[in-house]
Amino acid sequence: MGPRPLLLVPLGCLALLLPPPGAAEFSPSLDSDFTFTLPAGRKECFYQPMRKEASLELEYQVLDGAGLDVDFHLLSPKGETLVFDERKSDGVHTVETEDGDYMFCFDNTFSTISEKVIFFELILDNMGEDGQDEEDWKKYVTGTDLLDMKLEDILESINSVKARLSKSVQIQTLLRAFEARDRNIQESNFDRVNFWSMVNLGVMVVVSAVQVYMLKSLFEDKRKSRT
């Protein structure tokens, strides 16, 4: 399942994540994930609009790059620093939100050579209104007394199924991120092993050639013949 749409804006920061309309008719929960390359000496920021008494959960991982580390900042709409991670490879943070735009930044300015590949996922809870959803359902559900079925039971069952499916999608996304990071580490180790193997092979060839030359020089007759 691919990432939710990203709305780009002409700012110094990278992108603005907006929840797609009508994405949570039963349970007000949204999620987005994104992977991008952060060049060396650069800092990229994202904005996420939030509602009051909602929940913002953010998880990030550095998938590739020397050191597998990055600085992470999360700021409130008032500009207050809520989270600051220094030189971390991954992190999970959850905050209760208020109305306004939350900004989170990934900082690679401490690195002058290596770029980083970063994956992050946002999970937004309580971004809708349950009351309106129930009123919409009541327009289509009739005869609940005769069927001995309550609207609340239907919504609870649907929300439970949807929550479990969303959790499954989230776990699969995180497993793909872990697999990508492990593959990058293994490929890097493979290149290092091949490089040092070639270096060792070259040293062995040079040492063998020197040994052959030294042995030949021991058995050569260096006395000059008389005429």
Per-residue pLDDT of 112-135, as tens digits, reads 888 999 999 898 888 765 545 555
CA angle 47, 3, 56 (to 5 degrees): 45
Locus of tokens 């239907």: 154
Q: Which pLDDT value is given to residue 192?
A: 84
Say how far apart CA 204 and CA 196 lie, in whole Å.
Answer: 12
- pLDDT (0 to 100) of residue 85: 92
Domains of the chain, by residue range, sit at: 26-128, 157-220
Residue 110 has pLDDT above 50, yes or no: yes
Based on C-alpha coordinates, what's the Rg of the chain? 30
Residue 66 near residue 38 (C-beta atoms within 8 A): no
Cβ atoms of 55 and 95 closer than 8 Å: yes
pLDDT for the residue 99: 92
Highest mean pLDDT (candidates 86-100, 125-139, 178-192): 86-100
Share in percent of the chain as helix, strand, coil (round to 5): 35, 30, 30
Lowest mean pLDDT among 25-29, 35-39, 155-159: 25-29
Give the CATH architecture of domain 26-128.
Answer: Sandwich (2.60)
* Strands 15-16 and 43-50, sheet pairing: parallel
pLDDT of residue 213: 85
| pLDDT score for 46 | 94
Choice among 31-45, 62-76, 122-136, 178-192 with the minimum mean pLDDT: 122-136
DSSP string, 91-125: EEEEEE--SEEEEEEEE-TT-SS--EEEEEEEEEE
Q: Is the pLDDT of residue 220 over 80?
A: no
Indicate whether 28 pLDDT > 50. no
The region of weakest confidence among 31-35, 106-110, 150-154, 155-159 is 150-154
pLDDT of residue 146: 44
